[in-house]
Amino acid sequence: MLRTFRIGGIHPPENKLSAGKKITPLTLPKQVIIPLNQHIGAPAVPVVKKGDLVKTGTLLAKAGGFVSANIHSSVSGKVNKIDNALDASSFKRPAVYIDVEGDEWEDAIDRSEDYIKDCALSDKEIIARISEAGIVGLGGATFPIQVKLTPPPGNKAEILIINAVECEPYLTSDHSLMMEKGGQILTGVVLLMKAICVSRAVIGIENNKKDAISHFRQLAKQYQGIEIMPLKVQYPQGGEKQLIDAVIRRQVKSGALPISVGAVVQNVGTAYAVYEAVQKNKPLIERVVTVTGKAVSSPSNFLARIGTPISHLIEAAGGLPENTGKIIGGGPMMGKALISEEVPVTKGSSGVLILTKAESVRKPMYPCIRCGKCVNVCPMGLNPTFLMSLTELGDWPVAENNNIVDCIECGSCSYTCPSNRTLLDFIRLGKGKVIGIQRARKS
């Protein structure tokens, strides 16, 4: 019997319209806009100025603290300006604008065909190279990887878990990467195992990707300590705590980190980025992005440079449909509506979902009927309708005591509510308020 996490969960229509589509390298735009905050933590500090000439892979900004990440140029050209730019959260934040002039790469980057080689680097040297490359978690959280690979004192990693679940409907960027770069991903897994000094890794893949499961099982025969684990299709299995529960049957306590149960979780795309950083000295300057939707003429998986405007991807997928209602950055469950097509691709951009006008209209909201469905599907064991009420009332102490901060914002509660209540919207608002109060308390 296939494993899955033990609390809550749903199975929305998968709609993997771009499954099986090869990864297509995207042409370069005329200008890229590279945000300085593409990660959780402090924004990077620019080391270039207007008029500077840069190459593909040139360092643009240094990490602004321990929890931060370097930012590199994804193109060659001239720095047009450093100014605020609209990001996926609809806020304007500092970014480096670069006018594209060709595609000249830094000499230190190995641009030869992909290959596998033994790594003689120590664990600390591997982590240092990952840090220099500006790698963050590519599953959406964008946590700087060097931080996750450096457990706090008193904690020791026992197992590396690779998130190859891709449970979000529509998205296929990870699936396509697994099918085309399997050997490189497994090399990245070995490097991550060495970095955290563990001898066991498990790659969790949902059972709707049988081709990837078969492909990885064949490849994994060449590697010691790597297990491929098929998992039941269940959303949101890509959440760290849910994946840990599914794979090793350990539950992370409220407020605790995965390392507290001996686990380090990394996304499959992150493993590939680690391979490129360590083996090829290549910083994180591009990633696979799915462009999809029921009205999209050619749902695709693109290899896009960081900073490329979303409009450039949409055009490559056949253009914006006439009946477009919303453009979502990410998938339909955890993605956010974009207010402009000019929002750039960032390290955390997994997909662009175009919804029709009919799909974009919210249904009328009715009073809660106390059916308990939202409670049953919450993967964190919370009471969503109660947390929504507390947010409406502004009762932050009770909201905090009822673990509103534990919400992973998966949207399962809103999806299942028969009264069409905007549970997640309110919980997200309340969660942000409580986090602000907690930060103020600590300072």
Question: What is the model's pLDDT at position 144?
Answer: 95
Q: Which two tokens stand for residue 402?
A: 């009822």
Question: What is the model's pLDDT at position 117?
Answer: 66
Alpha-carbon distance of 153 to 60, in angstroms, equals 32
Q: List pLDDT tens digits, range 32-84.
A: 999 999 999 999 999 999 999 999 999 999 999 989 999 999 999 999 999 99
Per-residue pLDDT of the chain (443 residues; tens, 9 = 90+): 899 999 999 999 999 999 999 999 999 999 999 999 999 999 999 999 999 999 999 999 999 998 999 999 999 999 999 999 998 888 899 999 999 998 999 999 998 876 666 788 999 999 999 999 999 999 878 999 999 999 888 899 999 999 999 999 999 999 999 999 999 999 999 999 999 999 999 999 999 999 999 999 999 999 999 999 999 999 999 999 999 999 999 999 998 999 999 999 999 999 999 999 999 999 999 999 999 999 999 999 999 999 999 999 999 999 999 999 999 999 999 999 999 999 999 999 999 999 999 999 999 999 999 999 999 999 999 999 999 999 999 999 999 999 999 999 999 999 999 999 999 999 999 999 999 999 999 88
372-to-13, 342, 362, 377, 405 alpha-carbon distances in Å: 22, 41, 21, 9, 20
Alpha-carbon distance of 59 to 439, in angstroms, equals 31
Question: What is the model's pLDDT at position 157?
Answer: 95
Question: What is the model's pLDDT at position 377?
Answer: 98
Q: Which two tokens stand for residue 129?
A: 């190279």
Question: What is the model's pLDDT at position 186?
Answer: 96
H-helix or E-strand spanning residue 228: strand 226-231
3-class SS string, 54-109: ECECCEEEECCCCCCCCEECCCCEEEEEEEEEECCCCCEEEEEEEEECCCCECCCC
- Could you check whether the bond before residue 236 is cis, i.e. omega within 30 degrees of 0? yes
Q: For residue 211, how many other CB atoms are within 10 A of its CB? A: 12
* Helix/strand/coil percentages in the chain, nearest 5: 30, 20, 50
Question: What is the model's pLDDT at position 25?
Answer: 97
Q: List pLDDT tens digits, range 397-411.
A: 999 999 999 999 999
Question: What is the model's pLDDT at position 115?
Answer: 66
